[in-house]
């Protein structure tokens, strides 16, 4: 089999992707023009930076540092607000023209109620999918716990977002929980159409030993990149063992092999973050070429055949199983 | 790469609001590249490399971070990571450098490399008043011819530096510029018209500095990674050049 014969197309909730590589949220995707450029670089779909009802400046610099094994960030969900993001999404779609790839709008809020409002507002831009980033603190809760921390709260957010839009909803989970499968089950029961996993791990901390100060002004930040890949693979494995909705695997993928690994544990597509800077925006084209070559070598001619090979027989996330 | 700490070995005040800091470090960099300079507790900002060895930066006091830096003295520690970004091209036989304000800093590094390579180099420097013309002696010391312009006319040509050099543009086979965006646009326009190859160094609000966060988007370019130095041909159809910038939230606003 030659790489050209491999069918790389995939789908999320009926939305067709020419290949399984997607831009991850918060990675270069602030502007419509850059989103369109990422599409030109070969991405199967693009995800916007997460936006909230009001603009946010985020944490003061330093906010992102590469520590070799990975990246630590505490950008603090800075974003221009949902109104500006609606305009950026429209701009992206217009600039993509004929070469249009699906656009996923990522949203977050600090209360369950606002999650619904921001989802309704972003729907005006008619994104193909909405991704609810629930790895952010719930200010209505005494300790500001993340919405993603407890299955019950994650389900409440999901229900609120689902009742606010007709666009399919992806819920993005945090790996920083004792049992991610339980959270996945809860959000699916609450109506999530798809799941993406994972957001950054940790939080972690990095010190400058001379000044003995944390390098990030926020002191702690989320970890991404190759350092978290095995963690992300395990999370997706657990999720695909528990639910049958499409899963977007994210965390540390740098090349075609890593994409194949993620799809083998049940993902229908793969979000690419840290590698976009390490290998440049052309990473999407490189990854799909590498993936096609690898699949051809393995004699696997479609994403559907690759998917879930590493899952136990009968796992809900394995094609053909009707859990 | 995580920030490293270096000590200040020398501080030179160029005028009442600009100071040059020499550090006990050297950096393997190309002219036009920049560093993210970190003062623990005060923040981190993009600053151009004025000289790589010893590592030297020239900073204008414009707000909280630069004011804090100006209060640092010899022996104090300054953190930095980098170099980042795409550098200037060192090429041609007659190079014209056009600088406004602290834009002279990265062009000083370029001038040094160009003069070392035997390229005849002219610096055209513009500022509000004679006191705002910085680093002039350093450029002369490395062998540059200088053309000066001030708004007030107290030193050199009275008016825009771009108007001062326009009549002589044909003598140059390459132009490099750094300064306020309106000046860079004027440089780009005259070089587009005259067909002279030119590069300009741009600024946008930066967070990561290495192409991951998207904050510094200018059109479809990321200034920290695709730039800060751009060939003017890449900017011909850029919707943001000299028109729009982005605030710290990422909102696109008119310049
Ligand atoms: C590639 C690049 C190279 C630069 N080189 C130099 C240099 O060699 N010398 C020099 O004096 N200045 C340089 N600057 C500008 C310098 O980063 C800002 O002047 C400095 O950050 C001001 O911080 P502040 O707290 O003192 O002032 P603020 O009051 O915070 O800001 C004053 C001005 O600086 C801009 N600014 C603030 N924060 C940032 C940021 N994170 N990224 C970009 N711009 C910012 C603001 O938009 C505003 O216009 C450079 C900027 C860039 C993008
Ligand atoms: C600088 C930076 C900003 C991010 N911003 C967001 C964000 O706004 N929303 C979100 O859901 N995830 C955000 N993430 C997480 C990524 O989307 C992704 O889940 C994570 O980085 C793991 O993937 P990677 O290892 O491929 O980078 C961000 C990550 C980084 C490094
Ligand atoms: S500052 Fe983050 S991409 Fe340029």
Per-residue pLDDT of B114-124, as tens digits, reads 999 999 999 99
- Within 6 A (CB) of ligand 3 lie B 206-209, 211-216, 222, 224
pLDDT of residue B1: 84
Show Cβ contacts of residue A204 under 8 Å, excluding neighbours closer than 6 positions.
A72, A220, A221, A222, A223
Span A147-174, average pLDDT: 97
Span A94-118, average pLDDT: 95
Q: What is the pLDDT along chain B (255 residues), one digit of tens a residue?
A: 899 999 999 999 999 999 999 999 999 999 999 999 999 999 999 999 999 999 999 999 999 999 999 999 999 999 999 999 999 999 999 999 999 988 999 999 999 999 999 999 999 999 999 999 999 999 999 999 999 999 999 999 999 999 999 999 999 999 999 999 999 999 999 999 999 999 999 999 999 999 999 999 999 999 999 999 999 999 999 999 999 999 999 999 999
- Going from the Cα of B92 to the center of ligand 2, the distance in angstroms, rounded, reads 43
Phi, psi of B106 (to 5 degrees): -65, -30
Q: Tell me how close the Cα of B81 comes to any Cα of chain A, in angstroms.
A: 9
Cα dihedral A70→A72→A75→A79 (10° resolution): 30
Residue B77 and residue B5 in contact, taking contact as beta carbons nearer than 8 Å: yes
Asked if A63 and B3 come within 8 Å (Cβ–Cβ), the reply is: no
Q: What is the mean pLDDT of chain A?
A: 95
Round to whole Å and give the CA distance between B228 and B9. 28
* Residue at token pair 């009001």: A54
Asked if A211 and B5 come within 8 Å (Cβ–Cβ), the reply is: yes
Nearest atom in ligand 3 to the alpha carbon of residue B213 is 2
The dihedral sign for the CA sequence B2, B6, B12, B16: positive
Asked if A64 and B212 come within 8 Å (Cβ–Cβ), the reply is: yes
Task: Using pLDDT thresholds of 50, 70 and 90, give the confidence band for residue A320.
Answer: confident
Chain A interface includes B237 (CB < 8 A): no
A25 lines ligand 2 (CB under 6 A): yes
Round to whole Å and give the CA distance between A201 and A236. 14
**Which of B82, B215, B219, B240 has most ligand 3 atoms within 8 Å of its beta carbon, as the pocket-test mutant?**
B215
pLDDT of residue A99: 86
**For B4-84, which CATH class?**
mainly beta
Chain A interface includes B16 (CB < 8 A): no
Q: Tell me how close the Cα of B155 comes to any Cα of chain A, in angstroms.
A: 39
CA angle B174/B175/B180 to nearest 5° reads 170
B255 lines ligand 1 (CB under 6 A): no
Classify B96 as helix, strand or coil. Answer: strand
Asked if B249 and A67 come within 8 Å (Cβ–Cβ), the reply is: no
Span A11-36, average pLDDT: 97
A124 pLDDT higher than 50: yes
Round to whole Å and give the CA distance between B8 and A235. 47
Q: Tell me how close the Cα of B196 comes to any Cα of chain A, in angstroms.
A: 28
Task: Using pLDDT thresholds of 50, 70 and 90, give the confidence band for residue A145.
Answer: confident
- Going from the Cα of B210 to the center of ligand 3, the distance in angstroms, rounded, reads 6
Measured in residues, chain A has a length of: 323
**DSSP assignment of B211-229, as one string?**
SSS-TTEETTEETTTT-BE
Span A247-259, average pLDDT: 98
Domain ranges within chain B, ordered by starting residue: 4-84, 94-254
A321 pLDDT higher than 70: no
Give the domains, in start order, of chain A with CATH numbers. 3-306 (3.20.20.70)
- Going from the Cα of B218 to the center of ligand 3, the distance in angstroms, rounded, reads 11
CB atoms within 10 A of CB A115: 28
Decide: residue A25, CB within 10 A, 0-12 exposed, 13-18 middle, 19+ buried. Answer: buried
**Which of B206, B227, B228, B240 has most ligand 3 atoms within 8 Å of its beta carbon, as the pocket-test mutant?**
B206
pLDDT of residue B97: 97
CATH code, residues B94-254: 3.40.50.80
Task: Using pLDDT thresholds of 50, 70 and 90, give the confidence band for residue A323.
Answer: very low
- Going from the Cα of A146 to the center of ligand 2, the distance in angstroms, rounded, reads 16
A139 pLDDT higher than 80: no
């Amino acid at each position: 089999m030659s790489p050209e014969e491999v069918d790389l197309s995939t789908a999320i909730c009926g939305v067709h992707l020419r290949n399984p590589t997607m831009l991850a949220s918060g990675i270069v995707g602030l502007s419509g023009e850059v989103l369109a450029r990422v599409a030109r670089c070969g991405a199967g779909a693009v995800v916007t930076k997460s936006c909230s009802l009001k603009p946010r400046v985020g944490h003061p610099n330093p906010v992102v540092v590469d520590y070799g094994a990975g990246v630590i960030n505490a950008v603090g969900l800075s974003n221009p607000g949902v109104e500006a993001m609606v305009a950026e999404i429209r701009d992206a779609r217009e600039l993509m023209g004929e070469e249009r790839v699906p656009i996923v709008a990522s949203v977050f809020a600090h209360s369950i109620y606002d999650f619904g409002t921001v989802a309704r507002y972003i729907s005006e831009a008619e994104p193909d999918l909405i991704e609810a980033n629930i790895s952010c603190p719930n200010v209505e809760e005494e300790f500001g716990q993340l919405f993603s921390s407890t299955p019950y709260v994650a389900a409440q957010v999901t229900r609120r977002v689902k009742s606010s839009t007709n666009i399919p909803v992806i819920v993005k989970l945090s790996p920083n929980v004792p049992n991610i499968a339980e959270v996945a089950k809860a959000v699916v029961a609450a109506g999530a159409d798809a799941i993406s996993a994972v957001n950054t791990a940790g939080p972690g901390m990095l010190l400058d030993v001379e000044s003995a100060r944390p390098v990030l002004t926020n002191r702690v930040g989320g970890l991404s990149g190759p350092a978290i890949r095995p963690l992300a693979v395990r999370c997706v494995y657990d999720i695909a063992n528990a639910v049958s909705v499409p899963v977007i695997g994210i965390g540390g993928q740098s090349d075609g092999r890593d994409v194949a690994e993620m799809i083998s544990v049940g993902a229908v597509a793969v979000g690419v973050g840290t590698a976009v800077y390490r290998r440049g925006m052309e990473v999407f084209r490189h990854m799909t070429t590498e993936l096609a070559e690898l699949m051809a070598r393995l004699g696997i001619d479609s994403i559907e055949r690759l998917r879930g090979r590493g899952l136990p027989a009968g796992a809900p996330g394995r094609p053909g199983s009707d859990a | 790469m995580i920030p490293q700490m270096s000590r200040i070995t020398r501080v030179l005040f160029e005028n009442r609001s600009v100071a040059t800091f020499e550090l006990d470090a050297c950096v393997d960099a190309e002219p036009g590249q920049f560093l993210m300079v970190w003062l623990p507790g005060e923040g981190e900002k993009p600053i151009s490399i004025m000289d790589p060895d010893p590592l030297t930066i020239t900073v204008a006091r414009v707000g909280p971070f630069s004011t804090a830096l100006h209060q640092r003295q010899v022996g104090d520690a300054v953190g930095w990571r980098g170099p980042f970004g795409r550098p200037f091209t060192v090429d041609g036989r007659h190079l014209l450098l056009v600088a406004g304000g602290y834009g002279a800093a990265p062009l000083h590094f370029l001038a040094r490399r160009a003069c070392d390579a035997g390229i005849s180099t002219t610096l055209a420097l513009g500022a509000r008043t004679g006191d705002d013309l910085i680093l002039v002696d350093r450029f002369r010391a490395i062998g540059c011819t200088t053309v000066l312009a001030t708004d007030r006319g107290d030193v050199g040509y009275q008016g825009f530096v771009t108007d001062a050099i326009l009549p002589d543009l044909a003598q140059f086979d390459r132009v490099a510029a750094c300064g306020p965006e309106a000046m860079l646009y004027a440089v780009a326009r005259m070089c587009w018209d005259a067909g002279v190859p030119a590069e300009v160094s741009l600024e946008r609000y930066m967070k990561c500095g290495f192409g991951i966060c998207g904050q510094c988007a200018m059109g479809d370019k990321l200034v920290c990674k695709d730039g800060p130095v751009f060939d003017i041909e890449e900017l011909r159809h850029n919707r943001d050049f000299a028109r729009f910038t982005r605030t710290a939230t990422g909102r696109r606003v008119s310049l």
